[in-house]
Structure 1
Amino acid sequence: MSPSLDQVREIAEHITQQASSIPMAHFRAPLDIIAKADASPVTIADRKTEAFIREELARHFPTHGIFGEEYGISGSLKGETWIIDPIDGTRSFITGSPLFGMLLGYLVEGVPKLGLVRMPALDETYVGIPGQGATLNGQPIRCRDTTALNEAMVYVNEAERIHAAAPELFTRLCNVGHTRRMGYDCYPHAMLSAGLIDSVVDYGLEPYDFLPLVGLVRAAGGVITDWDGKDLSLESDGKVVTSATPELHGQMLELLNR
């Protein structure tokens, strides 16, 4: 029998709460940094955190599939599946920035049913179940109601990668909305879910970077798709845009594809 979403939420929150002590034990401390095949950094904190989360998930949900950044796929991803990014923002982590997160997503037959973003150094936990709402540290949160692009506060993630791949688009993004900031990783998407900003453009992500965000953003009333407006999946190309409202999302898609 499948667990209820309330059970899933409770266990996910408990596991990540316990796991958060692992990166914090290494935060702003000397670390050996290993370069992965794609040149991205990884540390013992990434690997120990994911190993703990995987072990706990397997104990509570032995029939569920797991897909994590550091240790890949266990079991089948066709049924009930967990997606893990143990430290989303390893570059932030190794440079002493508190804006690294821990991502956990729960999918059923590919559909995100729960999204969790825990920010260990900020002591913030965002959890969303589509249809049941989203919370920050247990308090309800919701996206803003901004519908006009010229009034929007926009974050552009992975700016240097966007500039290298599409300089004309980057120029447009530098002039978009009312206010814009450059950022990285999961935190801007969490801030959008909490009603602090209006849109986030992201680039070059992997499924473990974006799938845990889907349940949270949707639960908070927002919209998250690829740059073509398609739902995100394990096969998505890593170009992601998140918006507070459908009206604003349409304008962001138009800007991205102009």
Structure 2
Amino acid sequence: MTSPHTSPPLPADRLEELAEFAQTLAHAAAKATLPYFRQPMAVEDKEGKAGFDPVTIADRNAEQAMRTLIEEHYPDHGIIGEEFGTKPSRSGPYWVLDPIDGTRAFVAGLPSWGTLIAFNDGTRPVIGVVAQPYIGEVFLGINGSGICRSSLNGQIIKTRPCAALGRATLSTTGLNFFTDPEREAFLALEKEAPITRYGFDCYAYAILATGTIDLVVEAGLEPYDIQALIPLIEGAGGHITTWRGGDAQQGGRVIAAGDSTLHAQILERLRSVEQK
């Protein structure tokens, strides 16, 4: 989704205010999710998507808690949420919410899920929060109006240099999210990378921003899966695009790398992969 409005760049003090509010949203979501984590609960399968697409009361309650706060504090802003759809923006900016990115991990009791919150100024996401409340981590990225930084619990984080796939730690959520040509292309990368880790959803991108993972390659993403991750990775010095080098904010096929040279190499290898 893109807004019908194009907003002027926000001043730095306004971005800081909105970043603080984004963290308030993360705290509200945590209050809704944590009581259900590692507890018995019903798991539903969403309709309309191929394969099993789980959703729980925790997903819905967390998104509703965040939407309520946005409506109260910024009623003119739009909202895109995984569970409750889109509210158009009346002024340009909008929020992009994924209450539990990694619901499969959540219902399995694994702490690799997170809440994703992005603020899009009407043109691009400029604030991103990845919150993992069970282990007490809040990642924040700001990239707009001259501010470009990322932090973990208030401490500045940076991606690390890694100019070659043969020295990189590679990650993706799962091979089942790829088409056959995409899977073949990923497996070719995996043969060269010394370490590959699966199944971490948004958490892999957050750890890339800390400089301990070098490359994440995925496909089939929705805007709510990726928008919060763009300011985080860029603020930490990384690079994130589509497989053809374009703007990744609408999702689809994504390359995230901590090093510009590595990103360019992977982009060259993936840009021509068949798009189905």
**Which band: TM-score by shorter chain?**
over 0.9
Alpha-carbon separation, structure 2, partners of 1:120 and 1:154:
25
TM-score (norm 1): 0.93
Cα offset, 1:204, TM superposition: 1.2
Cα offset, 1:78, TM superposition: 7.5
The answer to whether residue 181 in structure 2 is matched with residue 181 in structure 1 is no
The answer to whether residue 17 in structure 2 is matched with residue 4 in structure 1 is no
Listed one character per residue, the Cα deviations across residues 136-184 of structure 1 (whole Å, up to 9, x for unaligned) are: 0010101112122222111122223337454421430321323222233
Determine if contact 2:140/2:150 at 8 Å carries over to the other structure: yes
- SS in structure 2 of the partner of residue 180 of structure 1: strand
Determine if contact 2:161/2:258 at 8 Å carries over to the other structure: yes
Determine if contact 1:77/1:109 at 8 Å carries over to the other structure: no
- SS in structure 1 of the partner of residue 96 of structure 2: strand
Alpha-carbon separation, structure 1, partners of 2:237 and 2:90:
26
Determine if contact 1:78/1:110 at 8 Å carries over to the other structure: no
Mean CA deviation greater in 28-37 or 13-22: 13-22
The answer to whether residue 143 in structure 2 is matched with residue 127 in structure 1 is no
Are residues 240 and 57 of structure 1, via their aligned partners in 2, closer, same or farther at CA, if it must alter by over 3 Å?
A: same
Alpha-carbon separation, structure 1, partners of 2:191 and 2:65:
43
Alpha-carbon separation, structure 2, partners of 1:246 and 1:19:
34
Mean CA deviation greater in 186-195 or 16-25: 16-25
- SS in structure 2 of the partner of residue 160 of structure 1: helix
TM-score (norm 2): 0.87
Question: Which among 78, 84, 91 is matched to residue 71 of structure 1?
Answer: 84
Structure 1 segment 97-108 matched on structure 2, within 5 A: 97-108=110-121
Listed one character per residue, the Cα deviations across residues 79-134 of structure 1 (whole Å, up to 9, x for unaligned) are: 11100000000011111111110000001122111010001222100001013311
Are residues 192 and 78 of structure 1, via their aligned partners in 2, closer, same or farther at CA, if it must alter by over 3 Å?
A: farther
Determine if contact 2:77/2:95 at 8 Å carries over to the other structure: yes
Alpha-carbon separation, structure 2, partners of 1:204 and 1:5:
30
Determine if contact 1:156/1:181 at 8 Å carries over to the other structure: yes
Structure 1 consecutive aligned stretches of length 4 or more whose deviation exceeds 4 Å: none
Cα offset, 1:197, TM superposition: 1.1
Determine if contact 1:163/1:169 at 8 Å carries over to the other structure: no
Are residues 41 and 78 of structure 1, via their aligned partners in 2, closer, same or farther at CA, if it must alter by over 3 Å?
A: farther
Cα offset, 1:256, TM superposition: 2.1
Considering only aligned residues, what root-mean-square deviation do their CA atoms show, in Å?
Answer: 1.9
- SS in structure 2 of the partner of residue 215 of structure 1: helix
Question: Which among 19, 26, 42 is matched to residue 16 of structure 1?
Answer: 26
Equivalence for 1:246: 260
Determine if contact 1:156/1:173 at 8 Å carries over to the other structure: no
Are residues 16 and 166 of structure 1, via their aligned partners in 2, closer, same or farther at CA, if it must alter by over 3 Å?
A: closer
The answer to whether residue 49 in structure 2 is matched with residue 33 in structure 1 is no
Which runs of 5 or more structure 2 residues have no equivalent in the other structure? 1-7
Listed one character per residue, the Cα deviations across residues 196-248 of structure 1 (whole Å, up to 9, x for unaligned) are: 111101121111001111111111111011111101233x4x11110002211
Equivalence for 1:141: 157
Q: Which amino acid aligns with 1:31?
A: M
Determine if contact 2:76/2:91 at 8 Å carries over to the other structure: no
- SS in structure 2 of the partner of residue 204 of structure 1: strand
Alpha-carbon separation, structure 2, partners of 1:167 and 1:45:
31
- SS in structure 1 of the partner of residue 112 of structure 2: coil
Equivalent residues, number = 256
Structure 1 segment 66-215 matched on structure 2, within 5 A: 66-76=79-89, 79-130=92-143, 131-162=147-178, 164=180, 166-215=182-231
Which runs of 5 or more structure 1 residues have no equivalent in the other structure? none
Determine if contact 1:227/1:256 at 8 Å carries over to the other structure: yes
- SS in structure 2 of the partner of residue 8 of structure 1: helix
Residue identity over aligned pairs, in percent, reads: 38
Cα offset, 1:77, TM superposition: 8.0
Alpha-carbon separation, structure 1, partners of 2:114 and 2:90:
23
Alpha-carbon separation, structure 2, partners of 1:132 and 1:233:
17
Alpha-carbon separation, structure 1, partners of 2:108 and 2:256:
26
Cα offset, 1:66, TM superposition: 0.5
Alpha-carbon separation, structure 2, partners of 1:76 and 1:180:
40
Determine if contact 2:242/2:254 at 8 Å carries over to the other structure: yes
